[in-house]
Structure 1
Amino acid sequence: MSDPSNELLIALIQAETSQSITPHPYSLAEIQKYNSLSNPSTESILEKIQLQKNLSDTNVWESEPIIELVDTILESAMMQRVSDIHFEPFETHLSVRFR
């Protein structure tokens, strides 16, 4: 936790999880490093999709990188406890918004 003195946040987490919380101080860089180890970056997934698209005649939309991208989006949405996921397709990119 970047601010272990945040008693309000600790109380909210304890109330939400019904668990005792022992906060440990971590810098934002350490937290981001940990998150990057457990969650593949969108850029790396998109690179895999492009590579597979270039190397194969198979349907890229049924490929493992697409499934990995959707799993990452859904996992992020669940972690943030969002109520809606909005996909906005554009000509050159896709925008994903959580609400």
Structure 2
Amino acid sequence: MQSCIEDCMNCHQVCLQTAMNYCLNTGGKHVEPEHFRLMMNCAEICQTSANFMLSNSRFHMRTCAVCAEICEACAADCRQIGGMDECVQACQNCAESCRQMASGTQH
């Protein structure tokens, strides 16, 4: 569980920093509402999933499942727009950890 918490916290940080620093400064497709909203949603669900695991919530498997889905969508969107390799990698790592946590194969 600890590695998943760390992946979620990292993804939260990277998505938030990328959105607020890189995307806002770059403009264009990087600040289109759908993309920017997805990045903010990704950062938020990562933080929420980490909090659910930290509190040993009985619902953490469900938040992790949603987190994996949103991280996968964010990674694909960032990859398609380009220039956000760190965000793509953080989202992919978090999605994999959360998918394992949601399936009960990671403890």
Instruction: Using structure 1 for the length normalisation, give the TM-score.
Output: 0.36
- Structure having greater relative contact order (Cα 8 Å, sep ≥ 6): 2
Instruction: Using structure 2 for the length normalisation, give the TM-score.
Output: 0.35
Larger radius of gyration: 1
Q: Which has the higher helix share?
A: 2
Q: Which has the higher strand share?
A: 1
